[in-house]
């Protein structure tokens, strides 16, 4: 072992004569253990030591249903889709997410539909209750159902960015156009803000 390397293992206040070969080897193994522990801990961190990746999402309590999610997304149709928080739904016969606010009559003809792309499925449960489900492939993120539900109903319909469709632009064009600053960044491991899960989120 060279003099310079040996001096690095000497304990403070000891001379080279008092440090045996056994001490040097023992200290070398101790040093290797510290290095090994540091490598092991480092392997548990995200690559490059960076924080977890963040993705865009819509805060449903800030959204004003302006319609820009449909028209400003770089993906066509928009990566923003309506979702339904069934836990807060009233299962109304006259659902103003499904029907226009003043329908001619309560029948399911197209002239009475609020959704322009027929993206809501209405299913009878029992008198007088109906379930309303979003057909995601038909939804364009126009927010008409969300506006109708919030204005006249329980507000159980809301918009969310679907991350299997979103291309995760660094600067989201809808965020840049959003008048209510409803777009937020969330951890990629938990990327949704469903109203069912947000009962006390804005309390």
In degrees rounded to 5, what are phi and psi of residue 54? Answer: -110, 150
Q: What is the pLDDT of residue 49?
A: 57
Q: Where are the domains of the chain?
A: 3-48, 54-197
Q: What percent of the chain has pLDDT over 90?
A: 64
Q: What is the pLDDT of residue 7?
A: 28
Contacts of 186-192 with C-beta under 8 Å, sequence gap 24+, read: 186/54, 186/55, 186/56, 186/57, 187/52, 187/53, 187/54, 187/55, 188/52, 188/53, 188/54, 188/55, 188/163, 189/52, 191/55, 191/57, 191/161, 191/163, 192/57, 192/160
User: What would the pLDDT profile of 109-132 be if each residue is shown by its tens digit?
Assistant: 888 899 999 999 999 999 999 999
Q: Which of 6-20, 130-144, 172-186 has the lowest mean pLDDT?
A: 6-20
Q: What is the pLDDT of residue 10?
A: 31
How does the average pLDDT of the chain come out, rounded? 80
User: What would the pLDDT profile of 40-95 be if each residue is shown by its tens digit?
Assistant: 434 444 555 567 899 999 999 999 999 999 999 999 999 999 999 999 999 999 99
DSSP readout, 1-23? --HHHHHHTPPTT--GGGS-HHH
In degrees rounded to 5, what are phi and psi of residue 29? Answer: -65, -40
Examine the pLDDT at 165 and tell me if it is beyond 50: yes
Longest dimension (CA), the chain: 103
Beta carbons within 8 Å of 77's beta carbon, 6+ residues apart: 70, 139, 140, 141
Q: What is the pLDDT of residue 43?
A: 46
């Amino acid at each position: 072992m060279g003099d310079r390397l040996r001096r690095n293992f000497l304990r403070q206040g000891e001379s080279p004569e008092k440090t045996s070969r056994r001490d040097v080897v023992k200290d070398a193994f101790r040093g290797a253990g510290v290095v090994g522990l540091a490598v092991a801990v480092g392997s548990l961190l995200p690559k490059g030591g960076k924080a977890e990746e963040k993705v865009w999402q819509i805060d449903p309590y800030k959204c004003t249903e302006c319609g820009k999610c449909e028209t400003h997304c770089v993906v066509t149709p928009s990566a923003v889709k309506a979702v339904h928080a069934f836990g807060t739904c009233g299962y109304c016969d006259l659902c103003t997410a499904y029907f226009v606010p003043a329908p001619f009559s309560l029948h399911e003809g197209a002239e009475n539909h609020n959704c322009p792309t027929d993206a809501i499925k209405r299913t009878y449960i029992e008198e007088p209750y109906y379930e309303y489900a979003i057909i995601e492939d038909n939804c364009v993120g126009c927010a008409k159902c969300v506006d109708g539900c919030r204005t006249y109903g329980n507000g159980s319909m809301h918009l969310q960015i679907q991350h299997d469709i979103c291309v995760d632009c660094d600067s989201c064009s809808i965020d840049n156009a959003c008048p209510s600053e409803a777009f937020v960044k969330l951890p990629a491991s938990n990327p949704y803000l469903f109203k069912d899960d947000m009962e006390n989120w804005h309390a």
